[in-house]
Amino acid sequence: MYVPVHNQVDNPEEAWAFVKAHPFAVLCVNGPEGPMIAHVPLVVRYDEAADTFELIGHVARANPFHEAVPAVGGPCVAVFRGADAYVSPSLYPSKQIHGKVVPTWAYLAAEARGHLHVETDPRAMRAYLEPATNEMEATGTKPWTVDDAPADYISSLERGIVGLKIRVTALIAKRKINQGKPQADFQSVQEAFAASAHTSHQLLSLEMQKESQKT
């Protein structure tokens, strides 16, 4: 992912927080016949022994995605997306001054690269099911756990999935929210997005406010 300096997220904690807040990833590998992808939620785990971050998830056993990964594992890229929106040149005050403005796109994204291992043993699936469940249910008033379902039912489901574990070697996060624009243009877009009824605009407006507070 191309990341200009002014769009780069330098704080690793901020980058990982973004991944945790947007766990539904596009996971990519190179298969025998070309690139393959899977849309899959991935939860973050820190392996203290190895001093590395891991991403844990699973896909259906019937999904050919996992068959593209060698038995010894292989390289992969996981892409995480946040809010995004088109930015019209009409929102820039500088358009009325010199007209030298063009459309752009504002967005938040992160890219994790690493080594993907596929676990096919049904008996090992709890380690891939429970992290995601516990993570997503943590804020619920009545958190659901895997043990809430009948054991034989869960066992049958475990035979129908394979586990995914990515040992992350690099994480890049990007905030492209009009940094580098004149302050008046930046402020105008932020205010227009704040007044918009679109959720993505409102979310980006909040991110732009955070950006303003850094300076």
Strand order in the sheet with 74-87: 34-41, 24-31, 74-87, 104-119, 161-176, 52-60, 43-47
Band of pLDDT at residue 32, cut at 50, 70 and 90: confident
CA atoms within 13 A on the CB side of 99: 0
pLDDT reported for residue 215: 61
The CA distance from 170 to 161, in Å, is 27
What does the pLDDT average to over 183-205?
96
pLDDT in tens, 76-112: 999 999 999 999 999 999 988 898 889 999 999 999 9
pLDDT in tens, 128-187: 999 889 999 988 899 999 999 999 999 999 999 999 999 999 999 999 999 889 999 999
pLDDT reported for residue 214: 78
97, containing H or E segment? helix 94-97
What does the pLDDT average to over 9-31?
96
pLDDT reported for residue 100: 87
Place of tokens 């056993």: 61
Band of pLDDT at residue 72, cut at 50, 70 and 90: very high
- What torsion do the CA atoms of 42, 46, 50, 51 make, to the nearest 10 degrees? 120
In this structure, the strands spanning 43-47 and 24-31 are: unpaired
Range list of β-strands (E), 50-137: 52-60, 74-87, 104-119
Percent of the chain beyond pLDDT 70?
100
213 has pLDDT over 90:
no
The CA distance from 122 to 109, in Å, is 33
48 has pLDDT over 80:
yes
The CA distance from 194 to 205, in Å, is 5
What does the pLDDT average to over 107-127?
97
pLDDT reported for residue 180: 87
Band of pLDDT at residue 1, cut at 50, 70 and 90: very high
203, containing H or E segment? helix 199-214
The CA distance from 67 to 188, in Å, is 49
| Nearest alpha-carbon partner for 177 in 157, 161, 193 | 193
Delineate the domains of the chain, giving CATH numbers in brackets. Answer: 5-84+102-180 (2.30.110.10)
Average pLDDT, the chain: 94
The CA distance from 64 to 29, in Å, is 12
pLDDT reported for residue 51: 87
DSSP 3-state of 165: strand
pLDDT in tens, 125-142: 999 999 889 999 988 899
47 has pLDDT over 90:
no
